[in-house]
Amino acid sequence: MKDKDIIKLKEQVYDANMALVRHKLVIFTFGNVSAIDRQKDVIAIKPSGVDYEKLKPQDMVLIDMDGNKLEEGLNPSSDTKTHIELYRAFENIRGVAHTHSRYATVFAQAILPIKCLGTTHADYFYGDIPCTEPITDSSIEGDYEKETGVLIIKTFKSLGLDYSHIKACLVGCHGSFTWGDSADDAVFASAILEEIAMQNLYTQLINPSVKSIKNTILDKHYKRKHGKDAYYGQKRSIYRAK
């Protein structure tokens, strides 16, 4: 597709995938990032199993909302259907990232949420990061990657969470998915998630009885940075991944 917006979308998705490497969130071919053009319902996503150092912007794979490839070329990420499911359910997001980053994956493997233990967490996520139950056997036998998305969405619903304020979910025994306003935002959320997972882990090791922070601190810090009363920064998006 020669459409200027789509070429730009591919470049943004390429940049965001490379940012995973720069932030040390992936090794080898672990992880993938996508973005969606909401006007055209076109998704650009990393190709499956291609080394980051060989990746080029034009290698990003274009698909529609049913997962059909829109151009000749490489196969999309094997996790593509999870991304699509998130784009369907979380209507305002425009980027998704999936990693097996070290500390976030530790919590996913332990099947434990990342409790909000401090303002580093509260600055970016409005509460605990949930972890899904391990996926059921019938979901594995069915459309596994789609069902992974369904599981995330179900988990958010059952816990009454708002995807626009908690932009991350751990998948039990697996890894993390994060999202945001763009591919870049989704990677930024992954980087913050990894940092707070690390801090949370060691906090629990040194003080096993630690509890989530009180709502007043959570409110103060999250709302300093988000929403109409935010007073942090210079009145522009604070989400960026470098």
Q: What are the residues binding a second copy (CB under 8 A)? A: 27-30, 47-51, 53, 74-75, 78, 100, 102-103, 105-112, 117-120, 134-135, 137, 140-141, 144, 173-175, 188, 191-192, 195, 198-207, 210, 213-214, 216-217, 220, 224, 231-234, 238, 240, 242
Q: Min. distance of Cβ 144 from a second copy in angstroms?
A: 6
> Strand order in 168-170's β-sheet?
61-63, 42-45, 32-37, 95-99, 176-180, 168-170
Task: Indicate the residue among 4 and 54 with the shorter CB distance to a second copy.
Answer: 54
> How many angstroms separate the Cα of 58 from the Cα of each of 32, 126, 194?
15, 36, 29
Task: Indicate the residue among 74 and 153 with the shorter CB distance to a second copy.
Answer: 74
Phi, psi of 135 (to 5 degrees): -65, 145
Phi, psi of 99 (to 5 degrees): -140, 165
Task: Indicate the residue among 12 and 99 with the shorter CB distance to a second copy.
Answer: 99
Residue 34 · residue 42 · CB < 8 Å: no
Longest distance between any two alpha carbons in the chain, whole Å? 57
Catalytic positions, please?
123, 232
Q: Is the dihedral of CA 161, 151, 79, 2 positive or negative?
A: negative
Q: Min. distance of Cβ 232 from a second copy in angstroms?
A: 5
Q: Min. distance of Cβ 190 from a second copy in angstroms?
A: 12
Q: Min. distance of Cβ 234 from a second copy in angstroms?
A: 6
Q: Min. distance of Cβ 157 from a second copy in angstroms?
A: 23
Task: Indicate the residue among 48 and 164 with the shorter CB distance to a second copy.
Answer: 48
Question: Within the chain, how many helices (H) and strands (E) appear?
Answer: 8, 6
Task: Indicate the residue among 27 and 65 with the shorter CB distance to a second copy.
Answer: 27
Cα pseudo-dihedral 222, 225, 229, 232, rounded to 10: 140
